[in-house]
Structure 1
């Protein structure tokens, strides 16, 4: 099975320096001393995946270039290929969307991404735009708090879910993707809405579950 890996290298940086998210404030997060945490989460996922000793004939990773997957995968002993897509040095939502489409074109039907709710929304956008309905998604949380249901509890859980899918031990479920207004959060207003639904493996014990949408307060 071809399993895609996409890392949003800036996801979660803002939350660690009191910005309550990273959307639109990457430069400010860096000024405050934020460092990327997504690569470490991706590395934990890869280390667990490697420890599961899945038959190499049943698993090959397809990763995004450079800091969006390739860099962290190079330190593993897993078989992988790099998808043919160009990403910018300062990654954006367009890079995420282009990577998802390139991974899908490469034959990936199970995608593991490391990011936050914004990354999940970008992925859902490209799935919807190009009718990638047979793509299953697993989210590895990179940040302080996730609101969408597509995220597993921790990176190791993502590796366990991948193994279950390969072994035929997982069903399919639809997960809520939430739209949390990070700008409002920074102003101490809580605004979160349902954005849509995304398909992923059904392994309830491994997933966080979506947080309830609330009206503006």
Structure 2
């Protein structure tokens, strides 16, 4: 099997520093102390691939666009090109896909977020080769259904598949997203390996959450610090508590006071107290609790906190299981298993976290 690898090394850098995306924000992300996460996730996926299919041939771009990660995973990759500058761009991604499609390869395994998925899918559509693609999740926002649920799952799927299906590539306007508005757009249809460990497209709808929000407000305790995640469901809780929260950011609240609005990881850590509770809602249709759109709530924040998951019954109707993908296997393992999800003022439903 010949697998083309394309890594967007700056994907996801804006997440933990509260930028909700990295498009056009790389310099600001670095100024805020952002660290790369895509190379490590690429290496994790390729290590899983190496374990399952050690004889696989890897073709990729030089440096952090794939070659370095492939070597760390134990492969001896074939280099088909190199980025034009030290700071890679969307055009580097597209040119890498063109080079790989010309070889050709059996699969394009890419590492990034929705923007990277668009670049890969649109470039593949320009070629005559009907090459499938598969995403390793590394971006802040991942609304498309062309991604595996975790880097490890991506490696396992890439190691062996016998069928493909058409799936959606979606993207949103990051500037509007930073202002609290989600404008999702279908950008392409791509061929993707058939596998159970692929995520669904994000559903933008939701059910009534007033009673759920009231239930959370009833149980607020003095002296406890509450980390309130993004989204409309938790947004209803913020309104019930009486403050104007960040619609798509993470807020910190304690004893009737908003301590931080649209907080970064650093803000969260500096405002945590002796007792902390994270309140999050899974992404509709996908079931991700952590690792999609809320990277500010990092493993270090989770270790110091209890976690309460909330969701409307309507949202849960479209979710079979919940997922976590924090980038820290120990933290992920601590979150896995059966968990009570609040669905009303008093009612809770048991759902498994994988």
Which TM-score applies when normalising by structure 1?
0.89
**C-alpha separation between the residues in 2 aligned to 1:187 and 1:55?**
46
User: Which residue pairs with 1:185 in the alignment?
Assistant: 177
Residues in 1 aligned to 2:149 and 2:109: alpha-carbon distance in whole angstroms:
13
Residue 195 (1) aligns with residue 187 (2): yes
1:146 aligns with 2:142: yes
Q: Provide the C-alpha distance between the structure 1 equivalents of 2:110 and 2:202, rounded to a whole number of angstroms.
A: 19
Deviation of 1:191 after TM superposition, in Å, equals 1.1
Once the two structures are superposed, residues 15-54 of structure 1 have per-residue CA deviations (whole angstroms, 9 ceiling, x without a partner) of: 12101111111111111111110001011112212222x2
Which residue pairs with 2:197 in the alignment?
206
Q: Which moved more, 1:27-36 or 1:140-149?
A: 140-149
Q: Secondary structure at the match of 1:206?
A: coil
Give CA deviations for 1:169-189 in whole Å, capped at 9, x if unaligned: x31111101121111111111
Question: Aligned equivalents of 2:83 and 2:9: distance in 1?
Answer: 15
TM superposition shift of 1:76: 2.7
1:8 aligns with 2:8: yes
> Residues of 2 paired with 1:137 and 1:42: CA distance?
15
SS at match of 2:140: coil
Tell me if structure 1 keeps the 8 A contact 2:113–2:140.
no
Mapped partners of 2:54, 2:151: distance in 1: 20
Are the equivalent residues in 1 in contact too, given 2:58–2:70 (CA < 8 A)? no
* Residue 137 of structure 1: how far off its partner (Å): 0.3
Cα offset for 1:206? 0.9
Structure 2 residue runs of 5 or longer lacking an equivalent are 206-246, 248-354
Equivalent residue, structure 1, for 2:260 = none
Distance in 2 separating the partners of 1:76 and 1:193: 35
**Cα deviation, residue 135, structure 1:** 0.7
Alignment of 1:52-201 (within 5 A): 52=52, 54=53, 56=55, 59-132=56-129, 134-165=130-161, 170-201=162-193
CA distance in 2, matches of 1:55, 1:139: 20
Give the length in aligned residue pairs. 206
Q: Which has the higher contact order (CA 8 A, sep 6+)?
A: 1
Alpha-carbon distance in 2 for matches of 1:144, 1:55: 30
Name the one with the larger helix percent: 1
Q: Give the distance between the partners of 1:176 and 1:13, measured in 2 at CA.
A: 24
Query: What is the CA-CA distance between 1:119 and the residue it aligns to?
Result: 0.3
RMSD: 1.7
Per the alignment, do residues 213 and 128 of structure 1 end up closer, same or farther by CA in structure 2, a change over 3 Å counting? farther
Task: Look up the match of 2:40.
Answer: 40
Alignment partners' CA distance in 2, 1:27 and 1:213: 30
Query: Helix, strand or coil: the match of 2:46?
Result: helix
Q: TM (normalized to structure 2)?
A: 0.56
CA contact (8 A) 1:7 1:69 kept: yes
Instruction: Look up the SS of the partner of 2:176 in the other structure.
Output: helix
SS of match in other structure, 1:146: coil
Computing the radius of gyration from Cα coordinates, the structure with the larger value is 2
Q: Residues 20 and 141 of structure 2 are in contact (CA less than 8 Å); yes or no, is this contact kept in structure 1?
A: no
Counterpart-to-counterpart distance in 2, 1:131 and 1:29: 37
How far apart, in 1, do the equivalents of 2:204 and 2:61 lie? 32
Q: 1:83-108: CA deviations, max 9, x gaps?
A: 13443211111000000011111221
Instruction: Determine the C-alpha separation between the residues in 2 that align with 1:55 and 1:115.
Output: 24
